[in-house]
Chains A and B, each alone.
Chain A
Amino acid sequence: MVLDCKHVWAHISGFLDGTLDAEELKHVQNHLEHCEICSAILDSTRNILVLTADERVFELPLGFSERLHARLEEEMRSIPPAGSDKDSHH
């Protein structure tokens, strides 16, 4: 069976996650060897996933942690002990 490009696109995620079965994997690999467009699509997708997962992309604002814990402190002082559901809502 020869896979055309559209079929390969449908398998890109499975290919990247390593979840294709042996036969599918072989078909996709064969196709990729001969199709520079699909190879570029695969490489660019993989590259984009690496970039978006990088910690530098989504950073915490300066002082985030301090403000969060201060607000939590405030909350902790203002309500009865957690877990005592019956009297935690007035």
Chain B
Amino acid sequence: MKVDGEERDETKMIAAVLAGDRQQFHTLIRPYERSVYVMALSMLRQEADAEDAAQEAFLKAFRNLGKFRADSKFSTWLISIALNEARSRLRQRKNAKLDSLDDTSDDGSPIAPAMLRDWREIPSEALERQEVRLMLHEAVAELPANYREIFLLREVEELSVNESAEALGISTASVKVRLHRARLMLQKKLAPQLKQLNPKRRWSPWS
């Protein structure tokens, strides 16, 4: 998660909000709107539900701002609130619906990636196609919850290993193991699908 621009003194902003200048809260959270929404969407999969969960997470952050401790980053704190909000909604849903979102244990059994003989890079322009974006959404959504969380934090939100460990309340060793497994699972799922996008190979029976 990157925040560009002139120095943002978040500690100062938080102090100002707590001192009664509530409008500062709007400025404080602006850089993190997307991160919080993405986290909620990837967990909950439905846009409306994700938006509501994201809003709720920001409201909770506002209400509990007095409890924020400056020894962690505001963004990490915010993301963990969003994560908890999404998790609790998933738990509520669970009774109603069968779900493949259960945690998976980090047993040592290796994940076999998809075997391919050559790989032609898929350029990022491919993301202009909605089907490609959907393909990626679905693959991420299908990861077991504990792998999906770490994947999003590290790869999409760009948190460091330490920040991710803090947000999830797990060890840095677990972060690394789960991230590795998540990456291989995605490769296994997505590489064959993405390979089909390559127009030159689409109809070739010899690839």
Seen from chain A, the residues whose Cβ lies within 8 Å of a Cβ on chain B are 6, 9-10, 12-14, 16, 36-37, 39-41, 43-45, 47-58, 60-61, 64-65, 67-69, 71-72, 75-76, 79, 81-85, 88
- Residues in B whose Cβ lies below 8 Å from that of A14: 180
Partner of A76, one of B19, B22, B51: B22
Complex interface bits, B111-150 against A, C-beta within 8 A gives 1, otherwise 0: 1111111110110101110001100110010000000000
- B99 CB–A CB distance under 8 Å: no
Interface residue total, chain B, C-beta cutoff 8 A: 61
Where chain B touches its partner, the secondary structure class is helix
What distance in Å separates the Cβ of A40 from its nearest Cβ neighbour in chain B? Answer: 4
Check if A49 sits within 8 Å of B183, measured CB to CB: yes
Check if A68 sits within 8 Å of B114, measured CB to CB: no
- Residues in B whose Cβ lies below 8 Å from that of A13: 176, 179-180, 183
Q: Given A41-B187, A44-B114, verify A68-B155 contact (CB < 8 Å).
A: no
Where chain A touches its partner, the secondary structure class is helix
Check if B63 sits within 8 Å of A82, measured CB to CB: yes
Q: Given A51-B122, A75-B62, A82-B17, verify A9-B137 contact (CB < 8 Å).
A: no
- B93 CB–A CB distance under 8 Å: no
- Residues in A whose Cβ lies below 8 Å from that of B13: none
Check if B62 sits within 8 Å of A72, measured CB to CB: yes
What distance in Å separates the Cβ of A41 from its nearest Cβ neighbour in chain B? Answer: 5
Check if B18 sits within 8 Å of A44, measured CB to CB: no
- Residues in A whose Cβ lies below 8 Å from that of B180: 10, 12-14
- Residues in A whose Cβ lies below 8 Å from that of B168: none
Complex interface bits, B20-59 against A, C-beta within 8 A gives 1, otherwise 0: 1010011000100110011001100001000100110011
Complex alpha-carbon distance, A6 and B194, angstroms: 23
